C-alpha cells in the first residue's frame, strides 16, 4: 500500500516537473498543473493517514473532504482541453460547492470543540456514538460525485469528437484514445470498485486494505495516463473555427435562422463539388472546414449546412471520401506502380498509415492491402 502511494507521489512529481518545463503551454496545461499539484498533496495526506499520524486528529475529517475536489479539478482540465471557450464562473461555483459546504461544516464542529459526545473515528464524525446525519449525507455525496462527473466527462468527449468531425479532415495529431482510456479507468475506480467498498466498509467481507490498494493502483494508472499524454497533447482549437454537429435527422427548421435559401444551398453545393473535382483541396493533409469555406467564399456555418442537407455527410467523411477515391484511382494508374501503399496514401491527402487504414476500410469495407491485391489481380471490385 505504501509503495503504491509513494509511487503515485513520485510519478506526480515527475510529470509536474515535465509539464512546468513545457514550452508554449495550453490553457488546459495550467489546469493539469493544478490537478497534478492536488494529486501530490492528496497522496501526501493519504500517506500520513496510512501511517496513523492522523488517527487522533480532527483534521483527518477535513482531509476526507479532499475527495470532493479531485473530480471537479480534473473536469476543469478536460473541459479546457475539449472546449475553446472558458468555463462559466457559475459552473465553478456549482462544482466547488460540495467541498465548500463540507469545509464549513468541519470548521463549525472544530470551533465548537470535540468531547465525549462529538468524536472523530476513521475520518467520520460521530455524535452520541452514532454517525452524524450530516456526515451520512456527505458519504452519500462521495459516492455520487464520480458517477456524476463520469457522465459529464462522457458527454464532453462525445461532443468533442462531433466537433472535430465537422471542422477537420484529419485527426492524426489529435489524440483521443488516451481520453477514452482515462474514461474507462475512471469507470473502473468509481463503478467497479463501488461494490468492493460496500463489501469492505459496510459488510466487512473484504479487507479494507484490499479496497485501498485497488483504489491507489487505479489512481496511479490514472495520473500516469493523464500526465504523460496530457503533456504530449497539442492544441486543437488554434486557428480552428469550430462548428456544431447537426442532428443526424436533418430537419430544415434547424437552419431556418441561417438565412441560406434552398436555391443558395443548391448553388453552394454545386460550387463545392466543382472545387473538389477541379482543384482537389483534399490533397492538403491538414484541410479544415475553415479553409474550404474560405476557398468557396462562404461562411463556415453555410458550409456545414450544405454538407448536412445536400451531401448528407459531415466534413470529415466528405473530405476523406475524396481521398479514398483518389487512392483507388492511383492504384489503377501505371504511374504509381512503383509506389508503396503508404506513399500513395500520402500523395492522396492522408497524413499517416493508421488513419489511412482506418478510413479506407470504413468506406470500402476492405483493408487497403487486400483491395490493392484485387486491383493488381484484375478482379472486379
Task: Give CA–CA dist 71/79, Å, rounded.
Answer: 12
Q: What is the pLDDT of residue 317?
A: 93
Task: Give CA–CA dist 298/301, Å, rounded.
Answer: 8
Q: What is the pLDDT of residue 216?
A: 73
Q: Please name the helix (run of DSSP H) or strand (run of DSSP E) that holds residue 49, with its range, or none.
A: helix 27-51
Kindly write down the DSSP assignment for every residue of 197-232, as one continuous string. HIIIIIS--S-HHHHHHHHHHHHHHHHHHHHHHHHH
Q: What is the pLDDT of residue 379?
A: 56
DSSP 24: S
Cell of 188: 473502473
φ, ψ of residue 124 to 5 degrees: the values are -120, 155
Q: Which domains does the chain have, with CATH numbers?
A: 2-232 (1.20.1070), 243-312 (no CATH), 322-381 (1.10.10)
Q: Could you tell me how far CA 197 lies from the centroid of its own chain? A: 27
Neighbours of 165 (CB within 10 A): 18
Q: What is the pLDDT of residue 176?
A: 64
Neighbours of 146 (CB within 10 A): 20
Task: Give CA–CA dist 84/47, Å, rounded.
Answer: 37
Q: What is the pLDDT of residue 239?
A: 39
Cell of 150: 463520469
Q: 131 in helix, strand or coil?
A: strand
Cell of 294: 474560405
Walk along the chain (381 residues) and give the pLDDT tens digit of each residue: 688 888 888 988 888 898 888 887 778 889 989 999 999 998 888 888 778 777 667 777 788 888 899 899 989 988 988 887 889 999 999 999 999 999 998 888 888 776 667 766 666 677 777 777 887 888 788 878 888 998 898 888 888 888 887 888 877 666 667 777 778 878 877 766 666 666 655 556 666 566 667 777 777 888 888 777 776 665 544 434 444 444 444 444 445 555 788 889 999 999 999 999 999 999 999 898 989 999 999 998 899 899 999 999 999 999 999 999 999 999 999 899 899 999 999 999 999 898 899 999 999 999 999 999 998 887 555
Task: Give CA–CA dist 344/340, Å, rounded.
Answer: 6
Contacts 24+ apart (CB under 8 A), 258-262: 258/301, 258/302, 258/305, 260/302, 260/305, 260/306
Amino acid at each position: 500500500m505504501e509503495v503504491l502511494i509513494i509511487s503515485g507521489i513520485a510519478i506526480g512529481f515527475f510529470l509536474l516537473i515535465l509539464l512546468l518545463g513545457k514550452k508554449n503551454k495550453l490553457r488546459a496545461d495550467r489546469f493539469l498543473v493544478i490537478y497534478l499539484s492536488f494529486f501530490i498533496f492528496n497522496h501526501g495526506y493519504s500517506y500520513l493517514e496510512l501511517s496513523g499520524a492522523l488517527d487522533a486528529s480532527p483534521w483527518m475529517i477535513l482531509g476526507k473532504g479532499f475527495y470532493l475536489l479531485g473530480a471537479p479539478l480534473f473536469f476543469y482540465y478536460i473541459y479546457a482541453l475539449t472546449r475553446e471557450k472558458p468555463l462559466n464562473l457559475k459552473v465553478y461555483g456549482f462544482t466547488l460547492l460540495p467541498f465548500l459546504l463540507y469545509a464549513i461544516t468541519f470548521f463549525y464542529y472544530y470551533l465548537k470543540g470535540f468531547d465525549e459526545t462529538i468524536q472523530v473515528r476513521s475520518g467520520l464524525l460521530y455524535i452520541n456514538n452514532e454517525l452524524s446525519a450530516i456526515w451520512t449525507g456527505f458519504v452519500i455525496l462521495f459516492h455520487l460525485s464520480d458517477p456524476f462527473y463520469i457522465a459529464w466527462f462522457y458527454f464532453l468527449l462525445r461532443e468533442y469528437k462531433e466537433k472535430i468531425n465537422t471542422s477537420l479532415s484529419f485527426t492524426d495529431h489529435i489524440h483521443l484514445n488516451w481520453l477514452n482510456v482515462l474514461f474507462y479507468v475512471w469507470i473502473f475506480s468509481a463503478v467497479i470498485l463501488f461494490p468492493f467498498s460496500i463489501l469492505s466498509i459496510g459488510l466487512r467481507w473484504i479487507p479494507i486494505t484490499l479496497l485501498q490498494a485497488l483504489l491507489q493502483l487505479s489512481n496511479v494508472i490514472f495520473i500516469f495516463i493523464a500526465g504523460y499524454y496530457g503533456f504530449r497533447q497539442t492544441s486543437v482549437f488554434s486557428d480552428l473555427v469550430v462548428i456544431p454537429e447537426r442532428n443526424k435527422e436533418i430537419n430544415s427548421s434547424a437552419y431556418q435562422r441561417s438565412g441560406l435559401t434552398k436555391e443558395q444551398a443548391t448553388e453552394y453545393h454545386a460550387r463545392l463539388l466543382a472545387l473538389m473535382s477541379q482543384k482537389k483541396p483534399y490533397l492538403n493533409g491538414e484541410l479544415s472546414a475553415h479553409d474550404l469555406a474560405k476557398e468557396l467564399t462562404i461562411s463556415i456555418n453555410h458550409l456545414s449546412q450544405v454538407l448536412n442537407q445536400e451531401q448528407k455527410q459531415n466534413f470529415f467523411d466528405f473530405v476523406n471520401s475524396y481521398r479514398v477515391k483518389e487512392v483507388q484511382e492511383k492504384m489503377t494508374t501505371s504511374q504509381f506502380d512503383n509506389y508503396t501503399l503508404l506513399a500513395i496514401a500520402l500523395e492522396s491527402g492522408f497524413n499517416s498509415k493508421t488513419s489511412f487504414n482506418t478510413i479506407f476500410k470504413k468506406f470500402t469495407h476492405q483493408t487497403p492491402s487486400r483491395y490493392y491485391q484485387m486491383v493488381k489481380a484484375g478482379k472486379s471490385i
